[in-house]
């Protein structure tokens, strides 16, 4: 069997690393890897291939830097060419980026079956590019790998045939279990004690809205009067901040370049609280039993909020300083299990192979 995996963005490298390793260990299945080029910086792409031992992509499309429409359109055309040449039995896509949607659209029109990992996630906010990408991909897919009960319910509510839907757990939990022993301290931070707050900000709804971004940064400045904040800064956010000349950030806010996965997990292991608008980082905070403040109006990972380990603090309507205080020091039950058993990658590959 030939599986063509399509990836392009940071969280997809991490998810695909789990499944690609299992594919390599499994007889009777060959993987063709397409990297669309959506993320291309060394610290947003290469470092993950090196650290997570992902093999060199068979096809590098080098498509990035444009608008959503430009990128998606160019990706569809380039992916279609590869699929016609490679003739895979399955196309495997992850998550909710433009690369996910482009892969799904190219495959569905060639009648190549699609498996979607991290299916059924919904924010019910159609202004998010990710929401459009995931809804359309789910409706084109033949196998939908949902991480949670909620995701399964969301797909059911949209009338998707339940035979196609498999609740398999979350591959990011597999990744955390597999790599956590290899976590390493980032070289970019000097000696620091374990009371720091780890923060990431990159969602378009925060970075493209200067009022929201200013409110987040104002909140961080207040928090930085008492705490050290480590902020590995996504290139999109860094670009916007550069254009805010009047912005003054307190010395306690330590801005560093985006870190690799192993350094990120060291930061997650050693921080006291996580503040983020990332989907993946919300879950990883929980995997490391760290409370999380989510800097968004809503989250797809509602079970974290229901379990009381994550609180939504929408910049502007909620006070992120109060939200942080309410989560500081929270002890999280070590037995709480929301995302499977760490065997998701194997489980989903077994299902694809049986479907053949």
Q: Which residues are part of the catalytic machinery? A: 202
Q: At 179, which helix (H) or strand (E)?
A: helix 171-179
- 57 is an interface residue for ligand UDP by CB under 6 A: no
Would you list the DSSP string of 2-22?
EEEEEE-SHHHHHHHHHHHHH
When asked if residue 14 is in the footprint of ligand UDP (CB under 6 A), the reply is yes
Nearer to ligand UDP, 11 or 315 (CB): 11
Sheet holding 90-94, edge to edge: 59-60, 30-35, 2-7, 90-94, 114-117, 143-146, 165-167
Characterise 118 by phi-psi region: left (phi > 0), alpha (psi -120 to 50), beta (else): left
Smallest gap, in angstroms, from Cβ of residue 308 to ligand UDP?
Answer: 21
Closest CA to 260 of 8, 53, 95: 53
List binders of ligand UDP among 92-111 (CB under 6 A).
none
Considering only the stretches 60-68, 120-128, 254-262, 308-316, report the one whose residues sit in contact with ligand UDP under the rule CB under 6 A: 254-262
Stretch that binds ligand UDP, among 25-33, 118-126, 277-285, 293-301 (CB under 6 A): 277-285
Q: Binding of ligand UDP at residue 258 (CB under 6 A)?
A: yes
Instruction: Give the end-to-end CA distance of the chain in Å, rounded to a whole number.
Output: 8
Least distance in Å: CB of 212 to ligand UDP? 16
Residues 6 or more apart whose Cβ sits within 8 Å of residue 329: 272
Residues 32-51 that bind ligand UDP (CB under 6 A): none
| Strand stretches in 100-171, DSSP E | 114-117, 143-146, 165-167
Residue 11 touching ligand UDP (CB under 6 A): yes
Q: Which stretch binds ligand UDP (CB under 6 A): 118-126, 135-143, 278-286, 289-297?
A: 278-286
Note the residues at the interface with ligand UDP (CB under 6 A). 10-11, 14, 200, 202, 232, 258-261, 264, 278-281, 284
């Amino acid at each position: 069997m030939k599986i063509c995996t399509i990836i392009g963005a940071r969280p997809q490298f991490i998810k695909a690393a789990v499944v690609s390793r299992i594919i390599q260990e499994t007889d009777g299945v060959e993987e063709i890897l397409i990297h669309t080029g959506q993320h291309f910086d060394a610290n947003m792409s290469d470092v993950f291939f090196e650290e997570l031992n992902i093999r060199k992509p068979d096809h590098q499309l080098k498509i990035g830097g444009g608008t959503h429409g430009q990128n998606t359109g160019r990706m569809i055309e380039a992916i279609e060419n590869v699929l016609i040449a490679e003739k895979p039995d399955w196309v495997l896509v992850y998550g909710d980026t433009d690369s996910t949607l482009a892969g799904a659209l190219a495959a569905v029109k060639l009648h190549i079956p699609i498996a979607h990992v991290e299916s059924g996630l919904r924010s019910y906010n159609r202004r998010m590019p990710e929401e459009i990408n995931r809804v359309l991909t789910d409706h084109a897919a033949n196998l939908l790998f949902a991480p949670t009960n909620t995701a399964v319910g969301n797909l059911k509510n949209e009338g998707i045939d339940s035979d196609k839907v498999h609740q398999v757990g979350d591959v990011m939990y597999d990744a955390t279990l597999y790599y956590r022993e290899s976590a390493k301290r980032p070289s970019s931070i000097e000696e620091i004690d374990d009371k720091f707050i780890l923060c990431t900000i990159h969602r378009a709804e925060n970075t493209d809205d200067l009022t929201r971004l200013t409110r987040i940064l104002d909140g961080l400045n207040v928090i930085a009067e008492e705490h050290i904040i480590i902020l590995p800064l996504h290139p999109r956010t860094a670009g916007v901040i550069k254009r805010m000349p009047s912005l003054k950030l307190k010395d306690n806010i330590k801005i560093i370049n985006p870190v690799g996965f192993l350094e990120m997990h060291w930061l997650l292991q050693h921080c006291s609280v996580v503040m983020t608008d990332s989907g993946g980082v919300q879950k990883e905070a929980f995997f490391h039993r760290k409370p999380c403040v989510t800097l968004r109006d809503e989250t797809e990972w509602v079970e974290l909020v229901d379990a009381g380990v994550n609180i939504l603090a929408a910049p502007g309507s909620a006070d992120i300083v109060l939200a942080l205080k309410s989560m500081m020091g929270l002890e999280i039950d070590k037995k709480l299990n929301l995302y499977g058993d760490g065997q998701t990658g194997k489980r989903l590959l077994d299902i694809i192979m049986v479907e053949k």
